Amino acid sequence: MKIFYSEQHRDHFPPFEVFDGGLRVPYYENPDRMDKIISALRKTDWAEFNEPEDFGLDPILAVHDRGYINFLASAWTEWLDSDPKVAAAPEAHAFLPATFALRRNPRPPKTLLGKGGYYMMDLSACIVAGTYKAALASANCALSAASSSFLLHHSSFALCRPPGHHAGKDYAAGYCFINNAAVAANWLSKKGRVAVLDIDYHAGNGTQDIFYERNDVLTISIHGDPEFEYPHYIGFADETGAGAGLGFHKNFPLPSGTGDIPYLVALYKSLEMIRSFSPDYLVLSAGMDTFDGDPLGTFRLTWAVYSEIGRQIANLNLPTTIIMEGGYNNEALGENIRILIRSFT
């Protein structure tokens, strides 16, 4: 299997994030995640690592607002120029606004902090000097994997960092800046019908946002119920698309403590929907924070069930672009990913 990966991700490593209650903690979405996955995959005889191609900005701007992308490109430099404390010790800082837009009357402000609150949804989407270039490289990993799946009619793995499925058309959120899965799915949609299946613990709100009014891309997300879990305001069962996209989105919100069997029931329903849609390509947002013991999840999935999850999805017999999303139990992350994707080899 072709694995697309870039060392550029290491330049995105904020010194902290802010949890509920104002608690400042080390950044969970850190480079060690990639090291654990790479270590596990290098022990196989089927992982073939490749550098991503540079697809330019056009595929990204096809799903993201230009003003938002311009903000990502310039935010750190603007902040560095405007704040002497940051200029003196940039390694101790991350760009985060203190005020966030409610979006009732969307109007991007002109000031940097105003734009930050408009284009960022939460306090985990921290921006540092290397964030934008890392996000571009991550998107290019996804596009390279999609291109490989299209050209060779096989499955591929984009080892993306930062992840992407929480990033909407014009906002960063939940460690995500560019929606890698959406960029890949939109690129593939020019080649045929596409389904996106998101198996991350948290709802793929950004992917839902981007495709919600489209009927050429089916989007499905299996996740912790937003009644108790991030992102709280999106991912409910009654959100099924709008306009031309009505009926082309499906959420499976599951309760805290969900284990292997009820999760597989939701997965089987998802796969039936995908078969009925008859896509030419599948994009799989693969988050391993469903694992029992993940510090940012409450599901109780065992390592053994990932083999069944991978096997069932692979049985769709579709060229599948697998996109790395979340998963923060770093000691188990590499092995869980290896177990999941070996069914596609």
Active site residues: 166
Per the structure block, which two tokens stand in for 113? 């902090």
Beta strand pairing call for 17-18 and 2-4: unpaired
User: 295: exposed, middle or buried (C-beta count within 10 Å: 0-12, 13-18, 19+)?
Assistant: exposed
Distance, in Å, from the CA atom of 274 to the CA atom of 256, rounded to the nearest integer, reads: 26
Residues 6+ apart with CB under 8 A from 58: none
Over the chain, what HEC string results?
CEEECCHHHHHCCCCCEECHHHCEECCCCCHHHHHHHHHHHHCCCCCEEECCCCCCCHHHHCCCCHHHHHHHHHHHHHHHHHCHHHHHCHHHCCECCCCCCCCCCCCCCCCHHHHHHHHECCCCCCECCCHHHHHHHHHHHHHHHHHHHHHHCCCEEECCCCCCCCCECCEEECCECCCHHHHHHHHHHCCCCEEEEECCCCCCHHHHHHHCCCCCEEEEEEEECCCCCCCCCCCCCCCCCCHHHCCCEEEEEECCCCCHHHHHHHHHHHHHHHHHHCCCEEEEEECCCCECCCCCCCCCECCCHHHHHHHHHHCCCCCEEEEECCCCCHHHHHHHHHHHHHHHC
